[in-house]
Amino acid sequence: MSARTVLPLVTAVTAVVVLATGCTSTKNTGSGGSGVALVKEGKLTTCTHLPYEPFQFRKDNKVVGFDVDIVDLVAKELGVTQEIVDTPFEGIQTGEDLNAGKCDLAAAGMTITAVREQNLDFSGPYFDATQALIAKKGSPYTSLASLKGKKLGVQQGTTGETYAKKNGAGVETVQFEDVALLLTAVKTGQVDAGINDNGVLFEYVRKNADTAVTAEFDTGEKYGIGVKTGNTALRQEIDKAVKAARADGRYDAIYKKWFPAAPKKQ
């Protein structure tokens, strides 16, 4: 899935400098560290939109998931702990939350797109995805064409919504604020099918045997972690942490933990 260049894993705890108003530089060049300004001292604050299992969801009152573990790698590298803010996807994908200083980064199973690149900066890709269809088991809806005149549930502000609107001529899209509402609507027959990312849908059908993934569209999406436009210091820390984890097996361990049934990606 990506280059496997080995980088030394930086474990040194770095002093965290919070930018005072008017300051323009916080570069800390001490012992291999990096001066990354954080919105809350001692914390790496993550914006995400729950639930998006297995990337981020609540379990036993804790937010856990693939993305949570990936961001923990970055927090560890910075010598801080991760704090998660649950907020609507719209504010995340438009860069609004990052610009408002609500969080340092956005990790939300978010696809890197050209439009979003204009409003925030992305880390390098850390996960591959495609759009997929979910319907009741045995249903005839195996393509967008088959949904002509039917109701297709989409999640607001997502690449699935964009894909359905662009490619689903004559399909009636029904918008849901989050994927849990969308999936319940599919299960209860409120909509005929739903469109969303394959990883999330496969996890749902694994636990809901009355539903099935009926199609996958090769959209070639890649997830990236978002930072405020110009926050190169943090973006580079993210890339460094992910690269090191890919090289030493920690990325694969996280992958297996959240996708135990999936064939190993390379």
If the CB atoms of residues 33 and 65 are measured against ligand ARG, the closer one turns out to be 65
If the CB atoms of residues 129 and 254 are measured against ligand ARG, the closer one turns out to be 129
Q: How far apart are CA 141 and CA 138, in angstroms?
A: 9
- Shortest Cβ distance from residue 220 to ligand ARG (Å)? 12
The residues that touch ligand ARG, with contacts defined as CB under 6 A, are: 48-49, 52, 89, 108-111, 158-159, 179, 197
If the CB atoms of residues 33 and 51 are measured against ligand ARG, the closer one turns out to be 51
- Shortest Cβ distance from residue 221 to ligand ARG (Å)? 6
- Shortest Cβ distance from residue 109 to ligand ARG (Å)? 4
If the CB atoms of residues 89 and 141 are measured against ligand ARG, the closer one turns out to be 89
DSSP per position, 145-191 = GGGTTSEEEEETTSHHHHHHHHH-TT-EEEEESSHHHHHHHHHTTSS
- Shortest Cβ distance from residue 23 to ligand ARG (Å)? 33
Do residues 71 and 82 lie in contact, with contact meaning Cβ atoms separated by under 8 Å? Answer: yes
> Which helix (DSSP H) or strand (DSSP E) does residue 193 occupy?
strand 193-197
Residue that the structure tokens 């474990």 belong to: 11
If the CB atoms of residues 34 and 159 are measured against ligand ARG, the closer one turns out to be 159
- Shortest Cβ distance from residue 71 to ligand ARG (Å)? 13
Q: How far apart are CA 117 and CA 230, in angstroms?
A: 11
If the CB atoms of residues 109 and 194 are measured against ligand ARG, the closer one turns out to be 109
- Shortest Cβ distance from residue 130 to ligand ARG (Å)? 10
- Shortest Cβ distance from residue 49 to ligand ARG (Å)? 4
- Shortest Cβ distance from residue 112 to ligand ARG (Å)? 8
CA dihedral 107, 112, 113, 119 (to 10 degrees): 50
Q: How many CB atoms lie within 10 A of CB 202?
A: 17
If the CB atoms of residues 89 and 255 are measured against ligand ARG, the closer one turns out to be 89
The CA distances from residue 152 to 15, 144, 179, 196, 213, in Å, are 49, 9, 13, 11, 14
If the CB atoms of residues 95 and 109 are measured against ligand ARG, the closer one turns out to be 109
Q: How far apart are CA 46 and CA 251, in angstroms?
A: 19
Q: How far apart are CA 129 and CA 196, in angstroms?
A: 10
Q: How far apart are CA 203 and CA 262, in angstroms?
A: 10
